[in-house]
Amino acid sequence: MRSIRVETSAATILLTEAPEPKVRDRQTGEIAKDAVSGEALMTIGVVYIEDGESSLIKVTVPEGGVSEGLNLGAPVALPGLVARPWESVFNGQQRHGIAFRAAAVTPAAVPAAMGATA
């Protein structure tokens, strides 16, 4: 399926869940790996805020793209963020959604609007 680039320059992205290994198989505990590089994958939780609306999303990032110094609640950057629609059948029920993936997760500067006090 096609991946869609997500433009993040006008968004505020805050870390809500620390990076943790992405589990491929819950029964065996197998960690998901990148299909091309073989690198272990991690998931993070963020709140994505843009135009007065917010969404909680999970983002997959390669283990090597997880920067040091990430703090819960702090702004982060997600270079190379893409969205990819998916669908599958599980236990006879069709499911669908959007998977998010970024090349990295790094600390970001506090946006001027957030740093301002009233």
Least confident range of 10-19, 22-31, 48-57? 22-31
pLDDT grade for 111, boundaries at 50, 70 and 90: low
Bridge partners of 42?
A: 21, 61
Percent of the chain having pLDDT more than 70?
92
pLDDT grade for 112, boundaries at 50, 70 and 90: low
* Whole-structure pTM value: 0.85
Least confident range of 2-6, 60-64, 91-95, 112-116? 112-116
Choose among 20, 42, 24, 43: nearest CA to 32: 24
* CA 25 to each of CA 28, 33, 53, 100, 112: distance values in angstroms, whole numbers, following the listed order: 6, 11, 34, 19, 42
* CA 6 to each of CA 66, 82, 99, 105: distance values in angstroms, whole numbers, following the listed order: 19, 5, 12, 14
Contact 44, 105 (CB under 8 A): yes
The DSSP letter of residue 40 is B
* CA 27 to each of CA 23, 24, 39: distance values in angstroms, whole numbers, following the listed order: 10, 9, 21
Asked if pLDDT for residue 110 goes beyond 80, the answer is no
State pLDDT tens for residues 58-91.
999 999 999 999 999 999 999 999 999 999 888 8
